[in-house]
């Protein structure tokens, strides 16, 4: 699996597995665990989760999936903004570690910006790093001005990633956030790469131009959408899939090389931004 380097020098895989909506339904638990394990068998060792997902339920599913396989996993979790004060971060991290059945996270993110001063959250992350509970920390749903502000605070230069909504139909970050992060070698993690809501996903993946590119490659529209993201410099992609056919397809998307002609057609079907817009969020 291809990797990028975090500012700390640690390698992070460019293709991983999301877990939002996992852990909600006990009847789905085995399928979810099997999907994550299949993904790892195929080389997708990065798993993205959060204390928010099923209020800890997703972390428990991940814990079961990585049981006995912690060393091969790159584990990412996130803290709620309302837990992001000095003591709250530490307690939330301990709870996540317990549910995940591990004693460290590879990456711990602030899920979105709340009312706790950023300086306090960064200080708390730094303390967790010193204590060996997390290897790196970063943020999610931060726009360029938030990134700038974080970068100027003590510990801000250790901010390892920004996880944001990015896919073919939502290219706003290409105007300034993505170049800003690239210039500083801070990887961007693209969430909802396939547009998680069924209606929006149908609209994006049903695009006739996307379908014809997919046909040329003998691939699905979803694979082309992922391949396009994987071809972007400095971008990590974390599709969530429970259906084993989807898991296999997503892994195989890394092997698709889009041509200059494909990229031109994609730009026509899903135009890049022509002005600055506020960051899109789920």
Q: Is 53 a catalytic residue?
A: yes
Measured from the CB atom, the residue of 90 and 141 that comes closer to ligand NAP is 141
Tokens 């400095």: give the residue: 234
- The contacts of residue 139 (CB under 8 Å, 6+ apart) are 109, 110, 113, 146, 147, 150, 159, 161, 162, 163
74 near ligand NAP, judged by CB under 6 A: no
Closest CA to 229 of 202, 263, 201: 263
Measured from the CB atom, the residue of 90 and 223 that comes closer to ligand NAP is 223
Q: Which of the ranges 97-105, 144-152, 207-215, 243-251 carries the binding residues for ligand NAP, by CB under 6 A?
A: 243-251
Written as six digits, the tokens of 243 are 């259906």
Written as six digits, the tokens of 133 are 């509970």
- The contacts of residue 239 (CB under 8 Å, 6+ apart) are 17, 18, 193, 194, 222, 226, 246, 250
3 near ligand NAP, judged by CB under 6 A: no
How many Å from the N-terminal Cα to the C-terminal Cα in the chain? Answer: 28
The CB-of-58 to ligand NAP minimum distance in angstroms stands at: 8
Site for ligand NAP in 145-174 (CB under 6 A): 163
Q: Kindly tell me which residue out of 20, 125, 137, 270 binds ligand NAP, with binding defined by CB under 6 A.
A: 20
Q: Kindly tell me which residue out of 121, 140, 144, 162 binds ligand NAP, with binding defined by CB under 6 A.
A: 140
249 near ligand NAP, judged by CB under 6 A: yes
Q: Kindly tell me which residue out of 238, 256, 266, 279 binds ligand NAP, with binding defined by CB under 6 A.
A: 238
Q: Which residues pair with 159 in a beta bridge?
A: 137
> Quick one: DSSP state of residue 96?
H
- # binding residues, ligand NAP (CB under 6 A): 27
Note whether 260 and 243 are within 8 A (CB).
no
The CB-of-248 to ligand NAP minimum distance in angstroms stands at: 8
* Size (the chain), residues: 282
CA distance 10 to 5: 6
Closest CA to 222 of 256, 272, 185: 256
60 near ligand NAP, judged by CB under 6 A: no
Q: Kindly tell me which residue out of 13, 15, 19, 45 binds ligand NAP, with binding defined by CB under 6 A.
A: 19
Q: What angle do CA 85, 91, 94 make, to 5 degrees?
A: 135
Binding string, 193-212, against ligand NAP, x = CB under 6 A?
A: xxxx----x-----------
The CB-of-211 to ligand NAP minimum distance in angstroms stands at: 13
The CB-of-164 to ligand NAP minimum distance in angstroms stands at: 7
Residues that bind ligand NAP (CB under 6 A): 18-20, 48, 111, 140-141, 163, 191-196, 201, 220, 222, 238-243, 246, 249-250, 282
List active site positions. 53
């Amino acid at each position: 699996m291809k990797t990028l380097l975090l500012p700390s020098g640690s390698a992070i895989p460019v293709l991983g597995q999301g877990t939002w909506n996992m852990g909600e339904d006990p009847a789905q638990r085995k399928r979810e665990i099997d999907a994550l394990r299949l993904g790892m068998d195929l080389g997708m060792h990065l798993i993205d989760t959060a204390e928010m997902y099923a209020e800890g339920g997703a972390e428990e599913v991940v814990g079961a999936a990585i049981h006995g396989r912690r060393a091969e996993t790159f584990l990412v979790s996130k803290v709620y903004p309302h837990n992001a004060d000095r003591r709250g971060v530490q307690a939330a991290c301990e709870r996540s570690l317990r549910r995940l059945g591990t004693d460290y996270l590879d990456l711990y993110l602030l899920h979105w910006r709340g009312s706790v001063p950023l300086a306090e959250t960064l200080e708390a992350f730094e303390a967790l790093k010193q204590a060996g509970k997390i290897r790196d920390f970063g943020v999610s749903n931060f726009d360029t001005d938030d990134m700038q502000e974080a970068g100027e605070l003590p510990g801000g230069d250790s901010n390892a990633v920004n996880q944001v909504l990015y896919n073919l139909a939502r290219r706003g970050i290409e105007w300034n956030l993505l170049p800003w992060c690239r210039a500083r070698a801070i990887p961007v993690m693209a969430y909802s790469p396939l547009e998680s809501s069924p209606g929006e996903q149908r609209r994006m993946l049903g695009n006739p131009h996307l379908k014809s590119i997919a046909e040329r490659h003998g691939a699905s529209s979803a694979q082309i959408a992922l391949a396009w993201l994987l071809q972007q410099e400095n971008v990590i992609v974390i599709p969530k899939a429970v259906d084993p056919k989807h898991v296999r397809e997503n892994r195989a998307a890394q092997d698709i090389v889009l041509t200059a002609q494909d990229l031109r057609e994609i730009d026509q079907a899903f135009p890049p931004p022509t002005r600055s817009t506020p960051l899109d969020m789920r």
